[in-house]
């Protein structure tokens, strides 16, 4: 039933086309961090309005770059603020799909709660139904929500996955495809064990989905290559995508290339080296080269 409510053209692209997801919702860990990475220091602007305007200028520069197009990029993940703004006189969502053939996805979580049992659950998401309704009307295809795993604690990891899938049901009911992102800290001292526990919890919850209910999984690049092959093959999983998680672009691409069937959903690794001080030619060339490297790593 839910498949009928999705944009079929976008669903087909997400299911079968080569490419990767550009994560434009986070880079450098926070908005000031993202701007600092881009070469705009915190003492050069004041207040949230100015900060978000600068971030949108940065995102717009990326989205309007010639190399940023649907032949190599399947989808882009946006902040709500980005969704509500315009690019070249069109709503951001319409610009991405109509001008670039890139599927629009919305980050819906409100950040992380305090650590408990070695993990950070998501904070409550008040008015989620209203946000999902707004997103659907604007033409958003799916959502993304992130949790964080710091230690290989079985109870904590089960709590993370349970919360993710509970919210996923709400998102599916709104006619959207949720990206479930239980990130494992790349500095976790028992990273391989945490990933083994995570995979088991995910597979258990996937079995509880009904036929025709789609989810995507956004996971940290694992210590054991092809660990998530069972998830890739599951009938309810549209795509398994990888976050860069603080790895350099080179290391993220190397790890991604060893995990067959997984595609990138990189943020920091995508925008690595891009600055406000670059000429448009320099900026476009560097972004195009990064897109090509990530695209190639996503083909394996």
Catalytic residues: 181, 218
Residue of 80, 165, 90, 157 lying closest to 117 (CA atoms): 157
Q: How far apart are CA 216 and CA 144, in angstroms?
A: 9
Q: How far apart are CA 265 and CA 219, in angstroms?
A: 9
With H, G, I as helix, E, B as strand and everything else as coil, classify residue 259: coil
Residue 120, number of CB atoms within 10 A of its CB:
21
Q: How far apart are CA 162 and CA 155, in angstroms?
A: 10
Task: Give the angle subtended at the CA of 277 by the CAs of 272 and 279, to the nearest 5°.
Answer: 95
Helix axes 154-173, 191-206, angle to 10 degrees: 40
| Burial status of residue 170 (CB atoms within 10 A of its CB: 0-12, 13-18, 19 or more) | middle
Residue of 169, 139, 151 lying closest to 76 (CA atoms): 139
Tracing tokens 């990064």 back to the chain, one arrives at: 290
């Amino acid at each position: 039933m839910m498949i009928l409510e999705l944009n079929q053209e976008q669903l087909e692209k997400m299911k079968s086309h080569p490419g990767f997801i550009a994560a434009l919702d986070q880079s450098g860990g926070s908005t000031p961090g993202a701007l600092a990475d881009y070469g705009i220091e915190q003492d050069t602007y004041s207040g949230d309005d100015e900060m978000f305007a600068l971030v949108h200028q940065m995102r717009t520069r990326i989205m309007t770059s010639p190399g940023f197009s649907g032949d190599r990029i399947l989808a882009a993940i946006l902040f709500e603020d980005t969704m509500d703004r315009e690019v070249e006189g069109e709503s951001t969502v319409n610009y991405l799909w109509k001008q670039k053939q890139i599927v629009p996805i919305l980050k819906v979580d409100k950040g992380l709660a305090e650590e408990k049992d070695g993990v950070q659950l998501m904070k409550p998401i008040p008015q989620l139904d209203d946000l999902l309704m707004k997103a659907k009307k604007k033409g958003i295809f799916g959502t993304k929500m992130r949790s964080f795993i710091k230690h290989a604690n079985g109870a904590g990891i089960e709590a993370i996955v349970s919360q993710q899938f509970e919210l996923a049901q709400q998102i599916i009911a709104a006619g959207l495809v949720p990206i479930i992102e239980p990130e494992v800290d790349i500095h976790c001292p028992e990273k391989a064990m945490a990933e083994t526990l995570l995979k088991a919890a995910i597979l258990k919850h996937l079995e509880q989905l009904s036929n025709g209910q789609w989810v995507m999984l956004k996971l940290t690049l694992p210590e054991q290559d092809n660990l998530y092959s069972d998830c890739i093959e599951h009938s309810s999983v549209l795509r398994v995508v990888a976050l860069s998680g603080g790895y350099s672009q080179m290391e993220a691409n190397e790890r991604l290339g060893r995990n067959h069937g997984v595609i990138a959903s990189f943020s920091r690794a995508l925008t690595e080296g891009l600055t406000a001080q670059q000429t448009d030619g320099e900026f476009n060339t560097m972004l195009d080269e990064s897109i090509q490297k990530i695209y190639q790593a996503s083909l394996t």
